[in-house]
Structure 1
C-alpha cells in the first residue's frame, strides 16, 4: 500500500522528462553503434565527406572513453530516472563528464574539418549535447533532493 502511494506521488513531468531523455539519448546510442559497426558507410549516409571520415578515423583511442561514458551514461541515466533510482544522478554525471571532455577535444584540442553547408548547423551539436546533459543531471539531482528518486 505504501509503494502505491509513492508511485502516485511521482510527478507527471518525471515520466515526460524520462521518456524524452530516453528518446534523445537512444538516438545517441544508435549513432554510436552505427558509427562503430558500419563506420564509413554510416558516416557517408549521414552526409560526411572524405575529410570528416578521415578525421573520425584518426580520433585517438583514449577519446572512446569519454564518448562511451557520455552516450551510455545518458542512456542508463534515462532508464534509471524512469525507474526512479537515485543512481540516475551518478549516470547523468558521468554522461556530462564524457560530453564535456568530447566538447573540449573537438573544439579546442583537435577541431574537425569544416562541415558542408547543408550540415553547418551540426557544428553547434556538441554544445547542445553538453547543455542537455547538464539539464538532465540537474533534473535528476532535483528529483533526488525531493525524494522522488529512491
Structure 2
C-alpha cells in the first residue's frame, strides 16, 4: 500500500534549503552573540561594528528566537511533523521584532543607508513563506 500523501520532490528541496538557511542564521547569531574574531573581521566600518555590538538584549533575544525557531521548524518539516507550523510562527514573531529594531529603532539606515532594509525584508519574506508552506504541507497531509 502506498502513501497517497507522499511529499513532492519540491517539498524535500524546500525543506533542505530552509534547514541550510536557518543553520546559517544560527551561525550568524552565535558569531554575533560571542563577538568572534571572524564576525568582527566582516566589518571594516567601525560605526557598523559599534552598532552591532551595542544591540540590546531584547533584540538579540528576538534574533535567537528567529533563527533557532527557524532551525527547529526546518528539522520538523524534514521529519514531516505538524508542529513545524507553530514553530515557524514563533520564529516569524522573532523576525518581526528584529525587523522593527533594525529598521525603526537602531541607526542601521544611517550607518548602512537604504541597503540596510534589504536583508531584513528578505528574511521576513522567507519567514512568511515558511509559515505558509508548512500550512500548505499540513493541508495536503504531508505532515503527521
Alpha carbons 2:26, 2:64 under 8 Å: kept: no
Cα pair distance change 1:88/1:99, threshold 3 Å: same
State the shift of 1:42 in Å: 2.8
Q: Does residue 107 of structure 1 match 2:121?
A: no
**Unaligned 5+ runs, structure 2:** none
Q: Does residue 10 of structure 1 match 2:7?
A: yes
1:133 alignment partner in structure 2: 127
Aligned length: 143
Structure 2 length-normalised TM: 0.88
* 1:63-97 deviation digits (Å, cap 9, x = unpaired): 12211110001000110000000011011111111
Q: 61-70 or 73-82: which moved more?
A: 61-70
CA distance in 2, matches of 1:35, 1:124: 19
Which residue, out of 129, 141, 145, partners 2:139? Answer: 145
Which residue, out of 31, 41, 46, partners 2:37? Answer: 41
Structure 1 length-normalised TM: 0.85
**Superposed CA RMSD:** 2.1
* 1:31-77 deviation digits (Å, cap 9, x = unpaired): 1112222x162333213421112112222111122111100010001
Cα pair distance change 1:40/1:19, threshold 3 Å: closer
1:70 alignment partner in structure 2: 66
Alpha carbons 2:12, 2:78 under 8 Å: kept: yes
1:59 alignment partner in structure 2: 55
